[in-house]
Amino acid sequence: MSKHNAAVIILSARKNLLPICLQNFSNCHPCDYDLYVYEFGEIYNSREKQAVRDCYKGKVEFTTINPTFPHNLKESELFYNREYNQYARTRFGKNRANYLHMCNFLTGDVFAREELKKYDFIMRFDDDSWFKKQIPYNLIDKYIREEALGDIFCINSYMWGVGNQVNQNHINTREGLFEFTKNFIKDNNIQPKNKKFREVIENNNELEFHKLGWKSDLSVWRNGFQQKQEWIKWTKSIADSGGIYKYRWGNCETHQIYAYIFHEDSVFNLNLRDGNYYDGHLPQYTIITKDC
């Protein structure tokens, strides 16, 4: 069935939702690309793994990841201990530590995985992604077309946090990110390629920075970008800063900023949510999509 050498990657902890997500995906975007499911620790037992395999047409491989906190950070520095931050204090307890590991893993570590090097394309979405009806094109075909027309980092399902959609919770999970980004650009003598982003940086406008818009979870990349020096430098700078673990910088933001800096057209927005094809969150009561 597949005409592309592609892999689908998912980091999963919601084992009750993943089979529904994959069944909907298989109905709405038929393909048999190899699927890699990563889990922090042994979340899925053998029966549950088989239930996932039964919902997907291609090969499915589970890989256990055992993440650790950066050795150079103290426990008191981690995001869930920042009592002054309202989001951390009211919505992010220590029991959510794996969310920090998730942001770190999906920012860069997953793309360095040895098993992914043999593929030409990588597709990623979350285990609660909601594929609602037949997508009118193959997503990798779409990436290839848009790549030929513009300078893009990836294609993406929809943008969020645009303009007045920004709220205080978004800002509370980006502490220091604007200053970090400005310093990275200055220290490396970079002129950002995206015009709107470049103007925000030149005008030192942090509020507009938050309003720029951010990619969501469903994305397609041409594999190999992670070998570029600018990507290596960007992800190493993020890791060295400790910002993901200290301030809960999200992988959507770290990817989008990279796209703004190094790609004129940043990320191509598919607007799948506006067309009611897709949403980033699958309601737990949702049954298998019937109209794909």
The reported pLDDT for the residue numbered 290 is 55
d(CA 200, CA 208): 6
The reported pLDDT for the residue numbered 247 is 98
Whether the per-residue pLDDT at 145 is higher than 80: the answer is: yes
Order of strands across the sheet that contains 267-269 = 60-65, 34-40, 6-11, 121-124, 219-222, 154-156, 267-269
Question: What percentage of the chain exceeds 90 in pLDDT?
Answer: 95
Beta bridge partners of residue 131, listed in sequence order: 278
pLDDT tens-place string over residues 197-235: 999 999 999 999 999 999 999 999 999 999 999 999 999
The reported pLDDT for the residue numbered 288 is 62
Q: Which residues of 97-132 are buried (b: 16+ CB within 10 A; e: fewer)?
A: beebbbbbbbbbebbebeebeebebbbbbbbbbbbb
Domains assigned to the chain: 6-279 (3.90.550.10)
Residue 22: which of 5, 42, 44, 3 has the closest Cα?
44
| pTM metric for this prediction | 0.96
Give the mean pLDDT of the chain.
96
The reported pLDDT for the residue numbered 3 is 86
pLDDT tens-place string over residues 53-87: 999 999 999 999 999 999 999 999 999 999 999 99
d(CA 250, CA 164): 19
